[in-house]
Amino acid sequence: MNDLVKFVNNTLEKYRYYIIDNKKKIFLVCPTKYLTNSGEKGDRFSEFFSLSELEQVLKCFQSLGIYTEVFFETNALFSKLLSLDADKMSDIIVFEHTESNGICAGDSLIPAFCETNGIKHIGPSPYINALLSNKFHWSILLRNYGFDMPESFLYQYQKKWLADCKPQEGELIFIKPNSGYCSIGVDHLSKCHLNQETCDLLDKRVETYQQEFIVQRFIEGVEYEVPFFVDYSGQIHVLPPIRIHHNEQKDFLDFHDVLTDEYTFSIETDSEILSTLNQVVSEAVSFLRFDKFGRIDIRYSQGKAYIFDINTYPHYIEHSSFYKSMHSIYKENTLDIIMKLLLGNLFPDF
């Protein structure tokens, strides 16, 4: 905890010097429901902010006194940046959020453009965004190197099971789109037993979402979301893990739960669980060469921490595990502190 507090204090100082004193401008890329130009099916591919969530973000930047220009789509951002003189790009920080719109590795577009043109941006590297856009690939990679992972299979339209590998008949499984966040494509049917009806369901889902589905053995246990920062020098700072409390009907979050905030959080205090979660998250972040910030989702069962999802752009507003975790340490101005850390962490130490 001392290292985390030191990181926060140091990063807040960097925020003051690099952002405020040097008068940086924020280009906020924020796909927003009803404002981002997308059809109904497209809405299922991207993680959209609500209007109230966008308002929270803008009010925060306003209170910090930072000039902010808002873009609701990636192409609008690119058009603006391309219109600027090269010497003006160093004044800009791109504050991006996930917007893949079903494109393979679409979340890498903004990081790749920014890093090619020397523009600071808050999100992870193009490589991390590309790798983590394919849940099957990173799941197999981590499992192969000894991390506790639910066994994973890939269901493809018409091709069916990749390499003809599949769970056993009748086995309890969990199905979800191979790419995407925010429980998009997950509903009450996602937890099921493998049978012919499940294969028929997978055929329909693959066609509807226009992508492959990852199928994993379901792990019973307690669900945690563990946010983290990686500082400029590469040191990992794990925030207090957050336990997820589902509603009474099911033991996982689906799209409706996330959309309507029908779940609650609590701070984990058990020292043994905390030690396991911190170790697993730190090792996974280091192994994947993650940078800047993110969140790893875990099911804890019988002393083991099973990684089942990784989020490159976790929500940080009031109803989120990132906010809850930071709020457990800094009770006042929590969102302001999170914003300052995301920005200050882009720069080297003094």
- Going by their DSSP bridges, the two strands 292-301 and 222-230 should be labelled as antiparallel
Residue 100: pLDDT band (50, 70, 90) is low
Rounded to whole angstroms, how far apart are CA atoms 275 and 23?
41
Instruction: Classify residue 183 as exposed, middle or buried by CB count within 10 Å of its CB (0-12, 13-18, 19+).
Output: buried
What does residue 132 show for φ and ψ, rounded to 5 degrees?
Answer: -80, -5
Instruction: Name 307's bridge partners.
Output: 298
What pLDDT is stored for residue 87 in this prediction? 85
Tell me the C-alpha distance between 216 and 150, whole Å: 6
pLDDT band at 35 (very low <50, low <70, confident <90, very high): low
Domain range 2-134+220-344, its CATH number among 3.40.50.720, 3.30.230.10, 3.30.470.20, 3.10.129.10: 3.30.470.20
Confidence of residue 19 (pLDDT cuts 50, 70, 90): very high
How far is the C-alpha of 271 from the C-alpha of 269, rounded, in Å? 6
Average pLDDT for residues 61-82, to the nearest whole number?
93
pLDDT of residue 39: 42
Give CATH for domain 135-217.
Answer: 3.30.1490.20
DSSP for 96-114, please give it: E----TT-TTGGGHHHHHH
Domain edges within the chain: 2-134+220-344, 135-217
Decide if pLDDT at 297 tops 50.
Answer: yes
Q: What percent of the chain has pLDDT over 90?
A: 73
- What's the whole-number average pLDDT of the chain? 90
Q: Do domains 2-134+220-344 and 135-217 have the same CATH topology?
A: no
| pLDDT tens digits, 228-267 | 999 999 999 999 999 999 876 778 877 777 777 778 899 9
Residue that the structure tokens 């101005």 belong to: 333
Q: How far is 68 from 4, CA to CA, in rounded Å?
A: 28
Whole-angstrom Cα distance, residue 151 to residue 318? 34
- pLDDT tens readout for residues 155-198: 998 779 999 999 999 999 999 999 876 677 888 899 999 999 99
Element (H, E) at 295: strand 292-301
Q: Given this model, what pLDDT does residue 99 score?
A: 64
